[in-house]
A = this chain, B = another copy of it.
């Protein structure tokens, strides 16, 4: 194959979708440019463990250049994509205030999702998110600092707000975060504050619906509720959030809860990059794609993962889950190779292994292959091993394992440093 005919694929985003697209193209006779705003891939399912002092940021992040350092056809660069020019087939990247243009023959958009406040964007100013490693470290610093402030104050009302941690959203991230926050308090913080600084912390989970874990069958929803409740987390259902202020939150039923910490896990929407395409997006800002993952109405542009909207043959949308993003990333890359070779592209078919959520030490629920319900210790062990195996990098697997064993047997959370 001559130099002239080598096609250039640009992938925006090194999350699960983009990463697996690049892996699929590694070693193939094409040139790949993988761009991300960070220099690392983030293992997002464990962000809540960074936020709650169980793991270090670098243990769930892996340098993108390192992943592909043996694949000479894959180039990785760090930068923020600010525009897509479909006519000239270029994208604009901003790096340290300078603009750079990169040409593509094929483009894969894999920029993931952002939190949505369902129209109440004013909530954002006083909430914490858990979408990125920066978010997780910010939340960790915030919580640890609040407890240190609570140890000084003589004002009981102030102390209540400082030691009440509120999580909005009854999905897997909400449950995991609430459970881990409660354990951080009851296993670690409570033991180390004493005398007149003794803290009485509350962790509250707020969900607008009448149940937790909307994607799970009724039986497992109840199991999850019971497990979280038995841990010590207070659960408030059927209540929307109406006000989020700096030191309190108000709910639909009029109740006001003093708190300096609101973690928002109530929902996500497609990322901003979708807007650069100049096409109609869905309500939740996602990019509608054909079954081949080509963007509707765009030439040689594919979209994969959370920022993509595609329906099952029965009309239900594919969920915004990592396995969907991975399988779409692989298929988009394969379809590009097929297009280059002039063969037929294949439609997306999701191989669904099921869903799982962890609630705390020895507590979890799983809905395996969407048929088999599992709960408690067994589901928790399954969750641990699955996540450990999916982590990228042998060192990360090893260090996370050491930390998990350490935390399990000592009830400690080792990464409790406030670092700005």
Contact = CB atoms under 8 A, between A and B. Distances in A.
A152 B192 contact: no
A399 interface: yes
A77 B151 contact: yes
Contact of A95 (B152, B398, B418): B152
A53 to B, nearest CB: 9
Interface of A: 38-40, 56-59, 61, 63, 65-66, 69, 72, 75-79, 93, 95-96, 98, 100, 133-134, 137, 144-145, 148-149, 151-153, 191-195, 197, 393, 395-396, 398-399, 402-403, 406, 410, 412, 414-420
Given A191-B69, A402-B398, A39 B416 contact: yes
A402 B134 CA distance: 25
A42 to B, nearest CB: 9
Contact of A58 (B56, B65, B77, B151): B56
Contact of A66 (B39, B59, B192, B418): B192
B395 A57 contact: no
A79 B412 CA distance: 24
A419 B149 contact: no
How many copies altogether?
2
A399 B395 contact: no
A39 B402 contact: no
B134 A419 contact: yes
A69 B192 contact: yes
A176 to B, nearest CB: 21
A39 B193 CA distance: 13
